[in-house]
Amino acid sequence: MLGRYAMNDNARTTLQRDATTTDITIRINAAAAPFNLPADPVGHAPSGGVGIATITDSIVQPTKFEIIAYTGLADVGGGRYDLTGVTRGVAGSSAQNWTAGAVLYQAITADGMLHPFLSLNIADNSTTIGSDELVFPGSLADFSSAVLSANSVSATSATIATINGSSLRVGTQPTTSPVAGALASVSGTNGLAAGAILRTSTDTAGAVLALGKGRGTPVAQTIVINGDTLGRIDAYAARTSAAWSNVASITFETDGSQTTTSMPSRIVFRVAPVNGVVGAEALRINSDSSVTFAGGARFAGVVTFTANVIAGGDVGANSLTANSLDVNGPASLGGMTLSSGVRSVAISAATNDWAPVNFSATGAYRVTTSGTPSITGIASGAANRAISLFNVGTVALTLSHESAGSAAGNRFALPGSANYNVPANDSVTLWYDGTSLRWRVKR
């Protein structure tokens, strides 16, 4: 009955004169500080709204009370005010006789709690919601015109809006729902079930979908712990006439110990595989910005890595399917640090502590051989560094095993503890062992 209330904070005063059970105008005194007068419904509530107040014989030890509704507040001078259009004994109370000095105050009633936000005023029992009949009071919204008209609601929408428990349904209710507390939309072959959050502004900010998790109560939150789910977006597919499957999801989780100054998090993506009906983890972005692929990574086009982005673990033969892999800077692959540059050099004699130009940025060398070329060691070795030598000359290139011609940390430890020959038009890949401080042949 009373869905739209005008109320003031700390509203309390007293009756200026007696009031009988039939009086529909009640005179009150001006409020004494720090209290306020009751709110005037005119200007403080949507059209048709009312004020609501409670009258009692004592604040400390009351023996009776009455709840009234009123439509106006008029200043009659001399510090006196009239509550007009009074309805007596509302919200389950009964009209009482009151003497001057009785206390009148405003407080939320049980009836008010039943209708705190939404009010429907359909006085003519019609099936059409017209002007000022759907109202969200206060700062929420006020639909003061015909917001649901014949042109905006189709005849097939049997239910415009139904609140059922924690569910809000717009349109015809589906037979089944994958989750409790669902927002359902209109059904049918051409029905559109869609939602949008839009922002139009001159600044750089965009629309926000906020998900959150706390471990306390709504009024006293406490910090989350490692492994808590902060929010999840689920996608469901109808599997049968009565069953749905959660085939994909994006989950936001905490990822490590949580403190007021450090709250690491991760994002987990799940999809249903072939012959599966439930989403399984496919990709995880960890708090250290590393990415974990559950089923291997496949790239359809050119892949560009700027620095050290493939590190640790194995990359299978079919994992990189691009026609080219462009590594701009060092990258770690299969336990080896690779550089992308290619350089041409010439070697015609024994070379100690070989130190080619721009060694740190070069991953492959085209070696033109002649005479009796050999290398006894390579300078600037670093753990897991790998290089390839391609013999494009006419004679074999010899790598000398544990040769004293080079410094100990630059030497080769070669298969069979013997010199290693790279024939013309052949190649070799060398890997630097950071434990033994030796270059080794990778086969």
Hey, what are 213's tokens?
């998790």
Looking at the structure, tell me whether residues 280 and 354 fall in a common domain.
no
**Residue among 443, 428, 337, 440 nearest 382 (CA):** 337
d(CA 150, CA 426): 82
114, 146, 176 - which closes a domain: 114
In a domain, 330, yes or no: no
Low-confidence ranges of the chain (pLDDT < 50): 1-3, 114-167, 185-189, 307-324, 327
255, 275, 293 - which closes a domain: 293
Looking at the structure, tell me whether residues 279 and 352 fall in a common domain.
no
d(CA 121, CA 72): 19
58, 88, 114 - which closes a domain: 114
Q: Report the CATH number that the domain containing residue 431 is assigned in CATH.
A: 2.60.120
In a domain, 77, yes or no: yes
In a domain, 251, yes or no: yes
In a domain, 173, yes or no: no
In a domain, 331, yes or no: no
3 state SS of 217: strand
d(CA 337, CA 17): 94
Domain of residue 254 covers: 229-293
Q: What pLDDT score was predicted for residue 312?
A: 41
Torsion from C-alpha of 369, 374, 377, 379, nearest 10 degrees = -30
Alpha helix locations (H) across 286-392? Answer: none
> Considering the chain, what percentage of its residues have pLDDT values greater than 90?
52
Reported as half-sphere exposure (CB side, CA atoms, 13 A), residue 111 has a value of 17
What pTM was estimated for this model as a whole? 0.41
Q: State the total domains in the chain.
A: 3
Residue 425 φ/ψ region, left for φ over 0, alpha for ψ in the -120 to 50 degree band, beta for the rest:
left
Looking at the structure, tell me whether residues 357 and 269 fall in a common domain.
no
In a domain, 34, yes or no: yes
In a domain, 369, yes or no: yes
Looking at the structure, tell me whether residues 247 and 348 fall in a common domain.
no
Q: What pLDDT score was predicted for residue 334?
A: 54
Q: Using one digit for the tens of pLDDT, what is the confidence trace for 44-97? A: 655 567 889 999 999 889 999 999 999 999 999 999 999 999 999 998 899 999
Q: What pLDDT score was predicted for residue 119?
A: 43
Looking at the structure, tell me whether residues 363 and 280 fall in a common domain.
no
In a domain, 200, yes or no: no
Strand boundaries in 172-215, DSSP class E: 183-184
